[in-house]
Structures are given as C-alpha cells and as structure tokens.
Amino acid sequence: MSLFITSLNSGSNGNCYYVGNEREAILVDVGISCRETEKRMARLGLSMQKVKAIFVSHEHSDHIRGIPVLAKKFNLPVYITPGTLLHLGNSLDMQLVHHLREFETVAIGELQVTSFPKEHDASEPHSFIVSCRDINVGVFTDIGVVCDRLIRYFSQCHAAFLEANYDDEMLDNGGYPYYLKKRIRGGKGHLSNKQALALFNTHRPPHMTHLLLSHLSHNNNSPKLVEELFTACADGIQIVVASRLEETPVYYISQSNEAYIPAGQLDLGFGL
C-alpha cells in the first residue's frame, strides 16, 4: 500500500499537511481556516470524508488556528498533548480530544502515527512519522536543532516534510530585531537551510524519493535559493518547496521512485 501526501499550506501564516492511503488520511496541524482547508483539498481531488484524525505538533497559532471548527464540523478526533491543549482554552470540544504521548504509536485504520519530542519554544512540541506497512513519511517542522531523535526517524523516511526556515546570511542582514534573530537560531526556534541540508546529505536513506521543504520564512529565505541548494544534492530525489500561499500537488509515495500525480488526474475519494 502506498501513501499520498500534500502540503496544504506551509509557513508562518499557516501550516497543514495531509498524509493518507486509499482509504483513510490524517492532517498534521490545521493552521488555515476550515473553509480554506476544504477548498484546497477539493482542488486536489481529496475528500474530507477520508480524513479520520488531526494530530497537533504544538500550540502556535499558525498550527492550530483552524482546528476547532474543522474538528467540530467533521467530528474528527484531535490528538494533542495536555500541555498543548491548555493553550486552546475552551475552543476545542473536549469529546474530540485524545491525549498524545511521546513515542506513542496511534493506529488510524492502516496508518500508524508515531510522535516524538522536538526542540521548539512551545509547551510540549512533537514531530510525527506516519507509516503504512513499509512506507514512512515524516513531518519535521518548527525544529530548533537536529537531534538524535530527528536523525533516527528521518533516516527511515521514504518522504518527508522538512523545515528549511531561513538562510543565515539573509537573517543576519535582514531587519529583524536582535532578540528575534536570536530566538530563531537559538536551538528552540527554526532549522536553517544549512542545518536541513546537512541532515539531508548525511542521513537520508537510499529509499527516499521525495523531500518537501517546509516552513520557509517569508523575510529570511527564498524558494528559488532553497530549491537550487537541495536539487544540486538530490541525486534523483524529488525536491519540492512547499508554498505559504497555496497547496502543493499530491505526491504518490511508494517503495519505488514514481512521479507525482498532478491535481486533476487523481481520484482519492469523491464518490467512494
């Protein structure tokens, strides 16, 4: 069985990532509105009826903004740590809440979702790896540093959403105040292009076929720069820069290196 993945939005204005098989899917974070989530999925030929759960990485607004409305409308369980939940106040229906624990694997149909702690300036931040039989997809964003846990899971992935938030020179020369620059690169902020590229070059597995570069800074990075940087080292791996303005195509992840399926040529659930 294969997996289908897309970034519905990626950036400080909102993050939402879709991973699913032919029968069920999950969303990691919903930082865009319910209406926009539905609209973007519809454009890709994806059905909300296949989405069976939402997994929450941390409490920052660009990751949780759309969760209460989307979860209520579609009666979706929300997997979230107790510390993260505190920051949503009373906006989330408690009947939909499932407590998330580190290194716990949750079964959503044939999908297996494993969470693990990451370094970020949030209450109980987690990254995720989603598996279906022998296929693994990682969601690794909002990471301050490359730790042993990240290396361990990244090296298992057939595909990954990997943060490449900022270019060091652009951050140094940009207009952000010193305290914000320090926060971004301070070990609990975000991953730079250089850090992400080092992880990719050193620890990517031979079976990796797709890398979706995610959570690019609008002010301190350039999609063209990032794409060129990683493509030069890709060695056949499909490099995709996830947009902060629109969804990516749906990519088909299997144990063989197959091309993506463009929007409009895919039926993943309408009428099924």
The pTM of this model reads: 0.93
Q: In what order do the strands lie in the sheet with 238-241?
A: 105-108, 111-117, 126-132, 135-140, 159-163, 210-214, 238-241
H-helix or E-strand spanning residue 68: helix 67-74
Q: Which CATH number covers residue 91?
A: 3.60.15.10
What total of structural domains would you count in the chain? 1
Residue 272 lies in a domain: no
Domain around 83 = 3-253
Per-residue pLDDT of the chain (272 residues; tens, 9 = 90+): 689 999 999 999 999 999 999 999 999 999 999 999 999 999 999 999 999 999 999 999 999 999 999 999 999 999 999 999 988 878 899 999 999 999 999 999 999 999 999 999 999 999 999 999 999 999 999 999 999 999 999 999 999 999 999 999 999 999 999 999 999 999 999 999 999 999 999 999 999 999 999 999 999 999 999 999 999 999 999 999 999 999 999 999 998 644 444 444 444 443 32
Per-residue model confidence (pLDDT) at position 241:
98
Residue 32 and residue 66 in contact, taking contact as beta carbons nearer than 8 Å: yes
**What is the per-residue pLDDT for 90?**
81
- Strand blocks (E) in 73-134: 78-80, 97-99, 105-108, 111-117, 126-132
**Residue 156: inside a domain:** yes
Establish if 219 belongs to a structural domain. Answer: yes
Given this model, what pLDDT does residue 82 score? Answer: 93
Kindly state whether residue 263 falls inside one of the protein's structural domains. Answer: no
**Domain presence at residue 262:** no
